[in-house]
Amino acid sequence: MRLLQAMQRRRSALASIFGHAVFIAVLTLIGTRSELPSLDSPLIVAELVTASLEPATDPTTAAPEAAAERAEEPAPAPPEPAPETAATEPAPQPLPAEPPPERATPPERAVEPLPPSPVERLAELPQESAEPVADAAETEAAEAAEPLVAEGIPAANTPQVSEDVQAVRSLATHEERTVRRHLASWTGHMDVDSPDATLEWREAGQDYTAVLKRVPAADAMGMEQLLVELTTQRDGERLVTELRMNRIAFSNFAQFIDRWDPQVQIHDDLIDGRFHSNTEILVSRERGVQPTFNGKVTVAADIRTDGSRFVNRRTMFPGGIETRVRRIVLPPRAAAFDDGAVPAERLMRIARDALLTFNADGTFESQAVEDGAAVERGSLGDEPFYIVAREGVDLRVRGVVNGKVLVYSPEHIVIVDDVLYAEDPREPGADDYLGLVAERTVEIDEPEVTGPGDLTINASIYARNRFVVRDYMSRRSGTLVVYGSVTAGSASATEPRYATRIEFDDRLATMRAPGFPLSDRYELDSSSNEWRVVDTP
C-alpha cells in the first residue's frame, strides 16, 4: 500500500516537471519570435484568440492554481503522429525554420474563414508601417529645419518688402465719407484759374493733407480734372491714396436753373437726368398728372407744392431728391472769343442778325434776316467749329447738324424749327455735338413759325438770362423734346402750348459741346479705396 502511493507520488512529480517544461518552452518560443509565423498553427491561433477574449487575471494568484491543476493531471502519453484528416489538432510541435505547409481541409468540411482577430490586426501593423514611419519622421525633421514662410506672411529672417511692392491698407467707409465731405466743402470756393493747391484738415485726432494738381482738358470738348494725392499718418506709417475729381460742365445736368420763377409750376414735365435749382421750385399735381424726375434732384432751398394734394415724392422723384445743398453759381459771362482764341479757319463771325441753316452733309448757310440776300456758307468738318455773333446780333437756328459746333450770341438765339443730329445720338459712335449759348435768352419762336406738333431739339442749351417759350398760353401744340441739356438763369412756362420732355444725352457725362461753359465745382469721380504704405519705421 505504501509502495503504490510512493510510485504514484513519483509519477505525479514527473508529470508536473514535464508539464512545467512544456509550458515554459511554449512561452519562450512565442516571446522570442520577432514576427508571427506561428499564427499559421491553428492551435496557437485558437489559444491566442481565447486568451484575448478571456478576462485578465492576476499572475501572482493564477500561477499556483494552474500548477496545482497540472499536478493532479496524469502524465500525458507520448504524442503519436496524427493522420492529415484527423478532426482533432495535434499537440504543439517545435516550430521549424520555415512555415509548415497549410493543412488541406476536406471539401465536405470547408468553412468560411473567420474575420481577423484583434491580435491578428495588431500583429499586422508593424509589418505595414515600420519603414514609412521612419521616412515621415525624417521629412518632418527636414521641414522643421527650413524657414517657415506662409502665404502673405514673411518669415522673421526674410527681407522687408521693397517700395516697388507696397503694402496696402483699406480705406474705411466712414473715412471715405469724411474725405468726400471735406473735398466737397472746399470745391466751389477755389479760384479755378489758380495754380495747384493744398488742403489740410484734422478728423478724429488724425491729420490729412490733400495736394491738388490740375489736369487741363485734352481739348475744347474734354473735361478738366483735379488729381488729389491724399496722405495721412497712422501707427507710425505714412499712408497715401490717389483720388480724381472732374470739373462739372453745365451740360452735365439735364436741366439746371439758377432762379426758379415762382409763378411757374413744374406740372406735365418729364426730366430724365440730373436736375438742379439754386432756389425753391414749385411742383404741381392735378387730375393724375404730375412731373417725373428720373435723375437725381438737388435743390439749394426746398420744394413747394402749393394747391397740390397727395404729392408722392417717391413716384415724383424716383431718382432721389436732396434739398438745401450748396448753390452752383453761373459765371458772369458764358464765353469769350477774343482774337486768337480759336484758329481762324474754324471760326465764323456774324455781323448782322442772321438765320443759320445746318445741312445733313456738314455744310451750313448764314442768311441775313433784314434783306435775305447776303448769304455766307461754311463747312463743319471733324474739328470743333465756332459760329460767333458780334455784340447786339441775334441768331436764328434750324436744320440737321453733321459735326461739332458751338453757336454763340451775346444777345439772343431763337429756335425756329427742329434742330437734329445727322446721326442718332443714342447709337454708339455718334459724334455730332451742338451747343447753343446766349448771354441773354434762348427762345422757342411763335407757333406760326414752328408750326403744329412736336418740336425736337438735339443740343446743349445755355441761356445765361432766361429760356423762353414764346406765346406759351396758346392752345396745345405738342411736346417740346430736348435731347441734351438745358441750363438757364430762369425759365418761362411752356404749358399749355407744350408739354416738356428733357432727355439727358449720356455722352455729355464725359464730353461737352465745343467751348460749352464750365462751373467752378468739382465732383469726386473715383477712388482706389486703398491706402498705400509709402514709409514704415
Q: Write down the pLDDT at residue 339.
A: 65
244 with 277, same domain: the answer is: no
329 with 256, same domain: the answer is: yes
Burial label, 142 (beta-carbon count in 10 A; 0-12, 13-18, 19+): exposed
Q: Write down the pLDDT at residue 357.
A: 97
235 with 291, same domain: the answer is: no
181 with 43, same domain: the answer is: no
Question: Is there a domain that residue 78 lies in?
Answer: no
347 with 243, same domain: the answer is: no
478 with 332, same domain: the answer is: yes
Question: Is there a domain that residue 161 lies in?
Answer: no
291 with 221, same domain: the answer is: no
* Residue-wise pLDDT tens digits, 413-453: 999 999 999 999 999 999 999 999 999 999 999 999 999 99
Q: Structurally, how many domains does the chain consist of?
A: 3
304 with 181, same domain: the answer is: no
Question: Is there a domain that residue 387 lies in?
Answer: yes
201 with 303, same domain: the answer is: no
Q: Which three cell numbers stand for residue 274?
A: 440730373
290 with 401, same domain: the answer is: yes
- Residues (pLDDT < 50) of the chain are 1-7, 26-27, 30, 32-98, 100-112, 117-166
Give how far Cα 121 sits from Cα of 52, 54, 100, 155, Å. 12, 18, 22, 44
397 with 447, same domain: the answer is: yes
Q: For residue 459, which of 270, 297, 257, 254 has the smallest C-alpha distance?
A: 254
* Beta strands 281-282 and 303-304, pairing class: parallel
Question: Is there a domain that residue 347 lies in?
Answer: yes
* DSSP per-residue codes, 374-423: -EEEEE--SS-EEEEEPTT--EEEEEEE-SEEEEEESSEEEEEEEEEESS
Question: Is there a domain that residue 331 lies in?
Answer: yes
Q: What is the pTM of this model?
A: 0.67
Q: Centre a 10 Å sphere on the Cβ of residue 190 and count the other Cβ atoms it contains.
A: 15
Q: Write down the pLDDT at residue 184.
A: 77
Question: Is there a domain that residue 312 lies in?
Answer: yes
Question: Is there a domain that residue 460 lies in?
Answer: yes
Q: Write down the pLDDT at residue 21.
A: 54
Question: Is there a domain that residue 261 lies in?
Answer: yes
332 with 193, same domain: the answer is: no
Q: Which domain, by its residues, includes 385?
A: 251-518
